[in-house]
Amino acid sequence: LRRSVIMKVLDRALAPDSIAVSRFIQEAQITAQLEHPAIIPVHDIGTLTDGRPYYTMTEVRGRTLASVIDDVHEASANGWSVEPGGFGFGRLIDVFQRVCEAVGYAHAGGVIHRDLKPQNVMVGAFGEAIVLDWGLARLVADAPEPRSLSTIRQDSASFMTETGSIVRTRG
């Protein structure tokens, strides 16, 4: 198709860990089932020859929301100014609204992101705002508009996150 995609591959050190593998596959499955303009599209999932799972996503070009916020603050020594990329307070609010719409869509379908932060939002040059990294996402049973999302981790209670357990991400 002559388009660029991003391939996310499970780290070699985690490959023997069945829980890490199931979490990785769940991340791909949840993300793929959340079809929204502000959620990264997943195109394919598979297994490399060494047995590690991978999935591919649309390549998003741009900057993280964290970087944009830093640039706006740097340009705004005496109030709200526009940074060199054209972002000011108004455009930041627009991005925030699109992120809220994506998260609202996910919540309505019973999915909680659990790692939403400016580093996990990409902002494109043409107004795109894309929520990334659904690796800590969790399905909840009492969704207002359940969409019948399903993942590999639902098949076995041994893969469920226990109450009080802490799962971290970098950044």
Question: What's the whole-number average pLDDT of the chain?
Answer: 88
Q: What integer pLDDT is reported at residue 102 of this predicted model? A: 98
How many CB atoms neighbour CB 30 within 10 A?
25
Question: pLDDT by residue (tens digit) across 55-64?
Answer: 999 999 999 9
- Residue in 70, 71, 94, 115 annotated catalytic: 115
pLDDT confidence band for 133 (50 / 70 / 90): very high
Told to judge if 50 belongs to the known catalytic residues of this protein, a careful annotator would answer: no
- Vertex 49: Cα angle to 45 and 51 (nearest 5): 70
Query: Cβ distance 137 to 27 under 8 Å?
Result: yes
Mean pLDDT for 125-149 is: 84
Measured between alpha carbons, how far is 44 from 42 in angstroms, rounded to an integer?
6
pLDDT at residue 162 is higher than 80: no
pLDDT confidence band for 135 (50 / 70 / 90): very high
Measured between alpha carbons, how far is 25 from 32 in angstroms, rounded to an integer?
11
Q: What integer pLDDT is reported at residue 1 of this predicted model? A: 85
